[in-house]
Amino acid sequence: MLFTTLPPLFYLVIFLCLFSALAQPDKAKNTIRCIERERLALLDFKQGLVDDYGLLSSWGSDDDCCNWWGVHCNNSTGHVTMLDLHAPLDDEYGYYAGKQLSGHKVSPSLLELKHLNYLDLSYNDFQGTPIPEFIDSFKRLHVLSLVDTGFTGTIPPQLGNLTRLRVLNIAGYNNLEIKNFEWLSLLLSLKSIYLGGVPIYNLKASVRLPPFLEEIRLQYCELQETLPFLLNSSSSFLSVVDFSNNHLTYSSVSRLLRNASKQLTSIDLSSNNFAGPIPDIFGDMTLLENLYLDFNSFTYGIPKSFGNLTHLREISIYYNQLNESIVELFEKLSRGAGNSLQSLELSENKLNGELPADISTKFPSLRQLRAGENQLNGSFPSFGLPPSLEDLALYSNKITGFSQGINVFVQKYGLVSLDLFNNQITEKFPDLSHFPSLTSLDLSGNQLQGGLPKTIRKLSKLEELYASSNLLEGDVTEAHFSNLTNLQFLDLSNNVALSFNLRSSWSPPFQLRSLSLAKCKVGPQFPKWLQTQSKVLEVDISFGGISDKIPNWFWNMSKSYQSLNLSYNNIGGRLPHFLPPIVDLGSNKFWGPILINPQEASILHLSNNKFVGSISFLCSISSATSIDLSYNQLSCEIPDCWNKSFVDDLHVLNFANNRFSGKVPNSLGSLIELESLHLRNNNLTGELPLSLQNCTSLSVVDFGGNKFTGRIPSWIGGSLTNLLIISPRHNKFYGDVPLSICHLKSIQILDLSKNELTGKIPPCFNNFTYLMQNSSSVGSTMQNLMLNSSSFRPGNDYYIDNILIQWKNQEWEYRKQLGLLKAIDLSSNRLIGDIPEELSGLKGLILLNLSNNHLTGTIFVTIYQIEHLEVLDLSQNQLSGEIPIGLARLNYLDVLDLSNNFLSGKIPTGTQLQSFDVSSYAGNIGLCGDPLPKCSPDVPPQRKINDYQEGDTFLDREFYISMVLGFSLCFWGIVVTLVLKNSWRTAYYEFLNDVKDWLYVKVKIYLGRLQQKLRRTRCMIQ
C-alpha cells in the first residue's frame, strides 16, 4: 500500500541507482592482467640480454608484464601484442642516444607470444648473431623492425611466411645480405619495405612486388644495372620509391617508373650512375611531390615536361652537371610548380646567368633556395624574393653585392637562413637590422670591408654568425652582442684587423657552443669573459696576440671541451692533467714535463714549446689520429708501446727537433694507418727497423738529422709504394741508392743528402711520374718557404705537413705550399759517374741539388727540358766540358751554382745566366764570359744543342785509364786479403776503399788540371 502511494519519479530514481550499481565494474574481479606463460617467456628473454643502462629495470618489479617498459597487451585478452624495445633516441636531436640492449642471441622463449603483431628491436646490439629463423612463427605479425641491430649473415627467406606483414624495416649496413629475394613476392599484405644497407647480390630469379606495396626503400643495397623485380608487377599502389646510393642507370628503372608513374609521389634516385639529359618520364608523374636526383651526372637542363608537375613541393638536383641558364630553368619549373614549390636545391652544377628579378612572383611559396657552387653572377634580384623564403644559399658564385631588392625583401618578410659565403661581395657589412627572423647568417669568404655594424645586435633570434675570411677591421665591443641572447655559433676568424675590446668583467648575454676568433686580436690578456660560457664545446683563439698565463678556471672548464686551439700566441705556464680530445697548443711558451692523462686524445699538437722529459704518457692513449710534439726539449727513448689497438687510427706522428735517443722501437711498425712520420733532428741511432715496412699507408717519412746507419732499406719503394716525401738526409747511410726507390711514381721530394752514399745515380729516376708533370707553381716559390701555421679547425682532423730542405744554401721548413714543391737532393755524398740524361724527363722538377759528390762527365744538353727548374746546384764535382746553351732557356732559374768543377768555354748568353753572381761559376779555370772576364778571341763559339758532342777524348781516355788502374789495384787487394783472418780482411777492405777514393780524387784532379794546362798551351801557341 505504501509503495503504491509513492510518486513515479521515485521509482525512476531507484531504477537508475540499481542499474548504475549493477553496471559498475568490479575492479578487483575484472582487471586484465598479462598471461603468466607470456610473462615467464619475457623474463627468460631478458636473461639472455645485457642491460647496462637499466632499460628493463621494470621487468619483474611488477607482476603484470603489461606495465613493463616496451610491452603492450590487448585490453580484452591480456595477451602481449606489441614488443617495442628499440633503443631510446636523443630527445634533442632525434639520433640514437647510445643506450642499448645487447646479447648473443634472441631467446626462442618469445615463441610463447603467439598473439604478437608488432616487434621492434631496432638500435640494439646482438653482436653478430644471425636473425633468428623462428621469427617466421609469429603468424600475426604486422610490423617487424630490425634497424641497426647488429645481426649478421643472410636475411632468412622464412620471412616469406609472414603473410600478414605490412611493414618490414631491416637495416644492416654491410652486416647483412640477401641471397634469395623470392620471399618478397609471398608477402601479399606488405605495404612498406626498407632494407637500408643490405646488399642484394647475384639474384637470378625475377621478383614480383607485393600487390599492395606503397613504399619501397632500398638505399645502399649495391643494386646494379638490373633490378631484381618484374617491373610489370601488379602493384598499382606504389607511391614512394627510394633507390638512392646504388649503381643504377636509367635503363634499369625506366620500366618501373613508367608503370607506376601515375601514382608516384616521391622518388629518390640520388647517388647512382645516371648520366645524360634528365628523362622526360618525370614529367608524366602528375602527382609527384618530392624528386631527388642528387649526385649523378645529369647534363643540359631540366626537361620542358617538368611544366606538368603541378604538385611538386621539393626538388633537389644537387651535384650534377646541369649547364643551362638559371632564368630558363626557373621558367620551366614555374609553369607547373609555380604555386606549389617550397624547396629548390641546385647547388654544385654549372648553371649560369643572373638570378631572375621575378622569383617572388614565379614561386610565391618558396621557402628554401640553394644554388651555391654554380656560375651565377650579378647582384640580387631587384624586385625582391618570395615572401615565404626562409633559407637562401648562394655560396661560391660571383655575387658582387646587395641590391635594393634584398633590402626591401628583408624589411617585409621573415628570412631565417642567409648563406652567401665564398662570393665576391666587396661592400661594407650590410645593415641587417630588418632581419627579425634570421637565425643563421653566413657571409664568410667574401671581401666585406669596414667594421662589424652595431646593428647586428638587433638580430635577437640569431643563433649562428659566420663572417670569417673577410677584410673586417676595427673594434668589436659589448654593444655588438648586447641583444644576441640566442647566439650559439660565432666565427669571425681570419679578419686580421679585427680587435676585441671587451671589459674583463663583461658577462655576455649568450651561451656559445662554438667560438672561432683565429687571427683576430683577442689579447694581450686572456679573455676572462669565457668563464661565463658553460656550454661551449669548441674554442679557437689561435694567433690572438695573447701574452698571458692561462687561469685555472679555464683549465677546469676545458674538461668539457671537444676541441681547443690556442696555438701561435705567447701563452705560458704548465699543462693540467687533463686536455680536450682535440687540442693545439703549438707555438707558445708552455714548459715543464707533460703529465697529462690523454685517454680520449684524438688530436694532440704541442709543438714549438719548452716541454721536457719523457713521453711515456703516450702509452695510455686510447685513441688518436694526429700527434705533434715537435720542436720541444723532450728526451729519453721513444716508448715501445705502439703495438696496442688504441693507435689503430693514428695518421700523423711528429717527434722532430727534440732530444730523443736510442733506437726506433719495432712497435712503430704496428701503425698500419700511419701516413706521416717525422723523427728528424734527434739523437736516434742504429738501423731503421724492418717492421716499418708494414706501414704501407705512409706518404711522408722524415728521418733526417740523426745518427742512423746501414743501407737505405729496400722496403722504401718496395713495400711503401705510397710515399710522396722521403728525407733520410744528414745521417750515416752508406751503399748505393736502392733501385726500389724508382718504383715510387708519385714521389715529389727525394732528399738523400749528407750521407755516405756511393755508386751512380740510378737512371730509372725517370719513373717518377709526378715529377714528370709540369709544375703548377711557376715563378719563384721563395715567398712560400716561411713557416706558416697549420689551418686548425675545431672538430676537424686537419694537419698541414712539413719538411726541412736545403733551399738556396739555407735550410728551410717548407710547410704551407708543400704540395707545390718538387725536389731531388743527393748532395754531400760520394756518388760517381755521369749525371743521367734521363733526369731531363722530370719536367716538373723545381729543385735539383747534386753538389759535393764525385760526379764526372758533362752537364747533359737536354737540361733545358726541366723548364720549371728554380734551383740547380752542381757545385763541388768533377764535371767538365762546356755549359750547355739550353741552360740559358730556364726562365724560372733563381739559384745556380756550378762552382768548383772543370767546366770550360764561354758561358752561354741569355737573360738568365748573366744575372748570377761570379761565385756561381768560381773554381772553373776554363770558363769565361759575362759575368766572368771576357773570353779571348781564340775561344771557339758555343755549339748548338743539336751539334753538341760529349767531352774531350783526352779526358775520356785518361778517365778510363784511371778506372782500369783503380780496378786492378782493388781486385788484387781483395784476392790477397781473402787468405787472411776475418778481422784482417774486414780492416784491410775498409782501408782499400779509403785508398781507392783518395787515389781516384787525386788522379782526377791531376788529370783535370793537366787538361786545363794543355788547353792554355794550345791557345798560346795559336
CB-based contact 778:892 (threshold 8 Å): yes
pLDDT in the model for residue 1011 = 57
Tell me the CA distances in angstroms from 454 to 288, 439, 476, 495, 675, one per residue in order: 46, 17, 9, 17, 47
Instruction: Answer yes or no: do 844 and 866 share one domain.
Output: yes
Mean pLDDT of 388-402: 87
| CATH number for 420 | 3.80.10.10
Domain end point (choices 425, 441, 463): 425
Does residue 898 surpass a pLDDT of 80? yes
Q: What are 97-144's pLDDT values in tens digits?
A: 668 899 888 899 999 999 999 999 999 999 889 999 899 999 999 999
More confident residue, 28 or 487: 487
pLDDT in the model for residue 988 = 57
More confident residue, 798 or 426: 426
Instruction: Answer yes or no: do 875 and 996 share one domain.
Output: no
pLDDT in the model for residue 514 = 96
CB atoms closer than 10 angstroms to residue 887: 22
Ramachandran region of residue 608, left (φ > 0), alpha (ψ -120 to 50) or beta?
left
pLDDT in the model for residue 407 = 53
DSSP per residue over 598-666, as a string?
Answer: -TT-SEEE--SSEEEE--GGGGG-S--SEEE--SSEE-SBPPS---SGGGTT--EEE--SS--EEPPPG
Does residue 501 surpass a pLDDT of 60? yes
pLDDT in the model for residue 237 = 87
pLDDT-derived band at 404, boundaries 50, 70, 90: low
Domain membership of residue 75 (yes or no) is no
State phi, psi for 521 to the nearest 5 degrees: -80, 105
Does residue 303 surpass a pLDDT of 90? yes
Mean pLDDT of 608-629: 90
pLDDT in the model for residue 796 = 36
Domain membership of residue 194 (yes or no) is no
CB-based contact 193:215 (threshold 8 Å): yes
Domain membership of residue 920 (yes or no) is yes
Does residue 448 surpass a pLDDT of 90? yes
**Domain count along the chain:** 3
pLDDT in the model for residue 19 = 45
Q: What are 156-185's pLDDT values in tens digits?
A: 999 999 999 999 999 877 689 888 888 888
Cell matching residue 293: 636526383
More confident residue, 592 or 939: 592
Domain membership of residue 1008 (yes or no) is yes
The strand pairing partners of 300, in sequence order, are: 322
Instruction: Answer yes or no: do 946 and 958 share one domain.
Output: no
User: Where in the sequence is the domain holding 960, given as residue range(s)?
Assistant: 954-1021
pLDDT-derived band at 467, boundaries 50, 70, 90: very high
Mean pLDDT of 742-766: 92
Q: What are 815-871's pLDDT values in tens digits?
A: 655 667 899 999 999 999 999 999 999 999 999 999 999 999 999 999 999 999 999
Mean pLDDT of 979-991: 54
pLDDT in the model for residue 944 = 45
Most confident of 78-92, 286-300, 948-962: 286-300
Work out the mean pLDDT of the chain and round it to a whole number: 83
Domain end point (choices 425, 449, 465): 425
Does residue 1014 surpass a pLDDT of 80? no
pLDDT in the model for residue 992 = 57
Tell me the CA distances in angstroms from 466 to 105, 401, 489, 822, one per residue in order: 50, 17, 8, 37
Instruction: Answer yes or no: do 946 and 963 share one domain.
Output: no
CA geometry: angle 363, 400, 406, nearest 5 deg = 40
Give the lowest-confidence range in 40-54, 547-561, 984-998: 984-998
Domain membership of residue 308 (yes or no) is yes
CB atoms closer than 10 angstroms to residue 743: 17
pLDDT in the model for residue 555 = 92
pLDDT in the model for residue 32 = 72
Does residue 511 surpass a pLDDT of 70? yes
Mean pLDDT of 987-1009: 56
Instruction: Answer yes or no: do 364 and 321 share one domain.
Output: yes
Domain membership of residue 549 (yes or no) is no
pLDDT in the model for residue 964 = 56
Does residue 952 surpass a pLDDT of 70? no
Domain end point (choices 368, 400, 425): 425
Burial 70-83 (b: 16+ CB within 10 A, else e): bbebeeeebbbbbb
Instruction: Answer yes or no: do 821 and 836 share one domain.
Output: yes
pLDDT in the model for residue 994 = 56
pLDDT in the model for residue 1022 = 37
Instruction: Answer yes or no: do 977 and 930 share one domain.
Output: no
Q: What are 305-338's pLDDT values in tens digits?
A: 999 999 999 999 999 999 999 999 999 999 999 9
Instruction: Answer yes or no: do 986 and 889 share one domain.
Output: no
pLDDT-derived band at 780, boundaries 50, 70, 90: very low
Instruction: Answer yes or no: do 382 and 315 share one domain.
Output: yes
pLDDT in the model for residue 27 = 40
Domain membership of residue 985 (yes or no) is yes
Does residue 575 surpass a pLDDT of 70? yes
Dihedral sign, CA of 98, 99, 105, 109?
Answer: negative
pLDDT in the model for residue 928 = 92
Reported pTM:
0.75
Instruction: Answer yes or no: do 321 and 366 share one domain.
Output: yes
pLDDT-derived band at 217, boundaries 50, 70, 90: very high
Q: How many residues does the chain have?
A: 1022
Q: What are 680-708's pLDDT values in tens digits?
A: 999 999 999 999 999 999 999 999 999 99
pLDDT in the model for residue 798 = 46
Instruction: Answer yes or no: do 924 and 777 share one domain.
Output: yes
pLDDT in the model for residue 403 = 58
Instruction: Answer yes or no: do 826 and 937 share one domain.
Output: yes
pLDDT in the model for residue 1016 = 47
Burial class (CB in 10 A: 0-12, 13-18, 19+), 9: exposed
Place of cell 649526385: 295
pLDDT in the model for residue 1017 = 46
State phi, psi for 22 to the nearest 5 degrees: -70, -35
pLDDT-derived band at 340, boundaries 50, 70, 90: very high
Domain membership of residue 548 (yes or no) is no
Percent of the chain residues past pLDDT 90, beyond the cut: 56
